[in-house]
Amino acid sequence: MSEQRLKQAESIAKVDIIITLLLIIVKGVIGVISHSRALIADAAYSASIVVGALADLMGSRVSKESTQEDQSYGSSKSEAITTIIVAVLILVVGVEIAISAVKTIIHGVTEAPHGIAVIAIVVSLLAKKIMFHYKYALGKKAANQAIMASAWEQRTAMYPSFIALVGVTAALIGQSLEMPSLYVFDTIASFFIALLLFKLGYKMVLESIYSSVDRKIHPEDAIELMSTVQRIKGVINVDELRAREHGHYVLVDVKISVNPKISVHEGHDIARLVKQQLMKRFIHVSDVFIHVNPYDPGYPYKNNVDPDQDESASLLH
């Protein structure tokens, strides 16, 4: 993605992480005080989301600071390894919560959580809902797919809180009706949240494997990319264009021919324009690597090498 979209997505991610960290502290502390296993499990799920977001943010910074070659081949592998490590930790936490829940259910639950647990869950749901609408509206306005995807992830992160709310509420109803058999719903809710942690860890493993494998894009998509490059002023010919999917984004490697009589600086400006146009028009293109070659002077030039000519001039074949 472009530098501007990347910075915008990183800024939103930082705000999201700070808010989620505050919610984790609130839910964790109140979960312990109120003796609610469901609320503690919900806090653990939120913590897993934050750890994953921090890993993505760090990987994004490393990629931005790396050279182009490192971005294409080296840093993506290290990001995949980091994601797998985080996923394994999430799976371990899920196992611990699930085992603890099963043991508690077997031995019996003797008390319901305190009512303050419901307040913490409702506050968490409201905060997540506000963040979802804010990020979705911002992403839609800026046409930033990364922010919009993050917004939908925010909405998915509300599911554990809904489960915790149902479990705690059922246990409190049991306390009000003097039905101790309903106390177990708080623990049952923590078990289902543990299953969501399993799903989250498994999804992260699959995505890390998916993002670390490069695949060629469809020929029709490559033709559209090439057509865009050919129409850019100063490009006489597109010698070669290779594009490959890298996770959710596309990396483009293109060789262009320019007027051999222009300066190196002018050639660099043409290359920069090619990169800007591709990343502006195709929002899924994350980076463009350009090789500039001198065009064979024995052939007629595209008339757009002359800065006085119309920018929409066509390619001579």
Do 114 and 219 have their domain in common?
A: no
Domain assignment of residue 312, yes or no:
no
pLDDT digit string (tens) for 143-163?
Answer: 666 677 777 877 888 999 999
Is 251 within 8 Å of 244 (Cβ atoms)? yes
Domain assignment of residue 315, yes or no:
no
Among 178, 212, 246, residue at a domain's last position:
212
**Quick one: CA dihedral 292, 296, 301, 302, positive or negative?**
negative
* 68/176: higher pLDDT: 176
Domain assignment of residue 175, yes or no:
yes
User: What's the pLDDT score for residue 313?
Assistant: 36
Confidence of residue 1 (pLDDT cuts 50, 70, 90): very low
- Provide the domain count of the chain: 2
Do 37 and 176 have their domain in common?
A: yes
**CATH assignment of the domain containing 295:** 3.30.70.1350
User: What's the pLDDT score for residue 76?
Assistant: 56
Is 148 within 8 Å of 177 (Cβ atoms)? no
- What's at 19, amino acid-wise? I
Among 188, 212, 236, residue at a domain's last position:
212
**Residue 143 backbone dihedrals phi, psi, to 5 degrees:** 55, 40
Do 207 and 219 have their domain in common?
A: no
Confidence of residue 310 (pLDDT cuts 50, 70, 90): very low
Confidence of residue 213 (pLDDT cuts 50, 70, 90): low
- What's at 161, amino acid-wise? S
Segment 59-65 mean pLDDT: 53
* 248/198: higher pLDDT: 198
Percentage, residues of the chain above pLDDT 90:
39
Confidence of residue 248 (pLDDT cuts 50, 70, 90): low
Do 50 and 137 have their domain in common?
A: yes
> Does the predicted TM-score (pTM) go above 0.75?
no
Do 183 and 220 have their domain in common?
A: no
Mean pLDDT of the chain: 81
Domain range enclosing 132:
3-212
Give the span between the Cα atoms of 223 and 172, in whole angstroms: 62
Is 228 within 8 Å of 264 (Cβ atoms)? no
User: What's the pLDDT score for residue 70?
Assistant: 45
User: What's the pLDDT score for residue 246?
Assistant: 61
Do 165 and 251 have their domain in common?
A: no
Segment 35-52 mean pLDDT: 92
Domain assignment of residue 78, yes or no:
yes
Domain assignment of residue 197, yes or no:
yes
Length of the chain in residues, anyone? 317
Give the span between the Cα atoms of 101 and 187, in whole angstroms: 6
* Residue 309 clears pLDDT 50, i.e. is over it: no
Domain assignment of residue 85, yes or no:
yes
In a 3-state reduction of DSSP, which class is residue 316?
coil
Is 171 within 8 Å of 113 (Cβ atoms)? yes
Task: Name the helix (H) or strand (E) containing 286.
Answer: strand 285-294
Task: Give the helix ranges, DSSP H, for the chain.
Answer: 3-34, 37-65, 68-69, 75-107, 116-142, 145-156, 159-176, 184-211, 219-230, 264-281
Domain assignment of residue 74, yes or no:
yes
Nearest Cα residue to 121 out of 37, 228, 233: 37
Do 201 and 281 have their domain in common?
A: no
Do 200 and 111 have their domain in common?
A: yes
Among 162, 181, 212, residue at a domain's last position:
212
* Residue 58 clears pLDDT 70, i.e. is over it: no
pLDDT digit string (tens) for 253-298?
Answer: 899 999 988 988 898 999 999 998 888 888 778 788 899 998 876 5
pLDDT digit string (tens) for 8-36?
Answer: 667 777 888 899 999 999 999 999 999 99
Nearest Cα residue to 168 out of 41, 314, 52: 41
Domain assignment of residue 177, yes or no:
yes
* Radius of gyration of the chain measured on its C-alpha atoms: 26
Residue 115 half-sphere exposure toward CB, CA atoms < 13 A: 4
Beta-bridged to residue 243, according to DSSP, are 252
User: What's the pLDDT score for residue 218?
Assistant: 62
User: What's the pLDDT score for residue 15?
Assistant: 84
Do 23 and 170 have their domain in common?
A: yes
Segment 110-139 mean pLDDT: 91
